[in-house]
Chain A
Amino acid sequence: MRKFSVFLFVLCLVGCASFGGRQAYDTTISVYARAALLYDMAARTAARACILHNVPEEKCDEWGRVLEEARRTLLDYGNFLDAMLALEPTPECLERTKICTTEECRQRNLQICYEQQMVRYSRAIERTIGALKKIIEEARG
C-alpha cells in the first residue's frame, strides 16, 4: 500500500511537471529548496554533535569536508538553474558553441550541453542527499 502511494506520488509529480512550463519551474525549485534544507539540517545536527557530544575531532573534520562538498554542489546547481532562467549559457556550454558557425549548430550544441549538465546535476544531487542523510544518522549516534 505504501509503495503504491509512493508510486502515485511520483506519477503525479511527473504528470504535473509535464503539464505546464511554470509547474516544472516550481517543482525544480522545490527540489532545490528541500535539498538545501537537508544540508542545513545535516550541518546543524553535525555541529551540535561536535560541540555537545564526545565526537572525535577527525570525525568532525570528515563531516566538515563532506558538508563543504555538498554545499558547493548545491551552490553550483543553483547557479546552473539561475543561468537557465536568465537564458544565459553556462561557461561550459558557451565553450561548446564556439566551434559553431551557424545558429542552428549553436542551439543544438547548447541543448546537448544543457542536457548533459542536467544528468550530471541529477546524479550529483542524488549522491549529495545520500551523503547528507548519512551525516544526520551518524551525528544522531
Chain B
Amino acid sequence: MSEKSTEALIIESLITLLSMFPTLLQMFQNRGALTEEDIRYYRERIRVIQETSLRSFDKYLEEARELYGDG
C-alpha cells in the first residue's frame, strides 16, 4: 500500500472518530429496528474484520521472514 493511501486512511479514521459516539448512541437506540438478516450481515462483517485484519504481531513477523528472509 502506498504512503499516500496510508496517510489518507489515518486522516479518515481520525475524522470519522469525531462522529463515533453520536453514531454509537444512534446504533444503540435503533438496535431493535434491524431485521434478522441485517443483524447476521453486520455480525458476519465484524467476524471477518477480526479474522482478517487483527492477527497477532508474531504472524506478521513470520510472514515478513518468509517474504524477505532474515534481511
Chain A residues engaging chain B, CB cutoff 8 angstroms: 6, 9-10, 13-14, 17-18, 20-22, 24-25, 27-41, 43-44, 46-48, 50-53, 63-64, 67-68, 71, 74-75, 78, 81-82, 84-87, 111, 114-115, 118-119, 121-122, 125-126, 129, 133, 136, 140
Q: Could you show 25 A-B contacts with beta carbons less than 8 Å apart?
A: A6-B15, A9-B15, A14-B19, A14-B23, A21-B30, A21-B34, A25-B38, A29-B42, A32-B46, A33-B45, A36-B49, A43-B55, A47-B60, A48-B68, A50-B64, A52-B71, A71-B57, A84-B27, A85-B39, A86-B43, A118-B21, A122-B17, A129-B14, A133-B10, A140-B3
Interface residues of B in 15-52 (CB under 8 A from A): 15-34, 38-39, 42-43, 45-47, 49-50, 52
A115 touches B25 (CB 8 A): yes
Chain B residues engaging chain A, CB cutoff 8 angstroms: 1, 3, 6, 9-10, 12-34, 38-39, 42-43, 45-47, 49-50, 52-58, 60-61, 63-65, 68-71
Q: How far is the CB of B13 from the nearest CB of chain A, in Å? A: 5
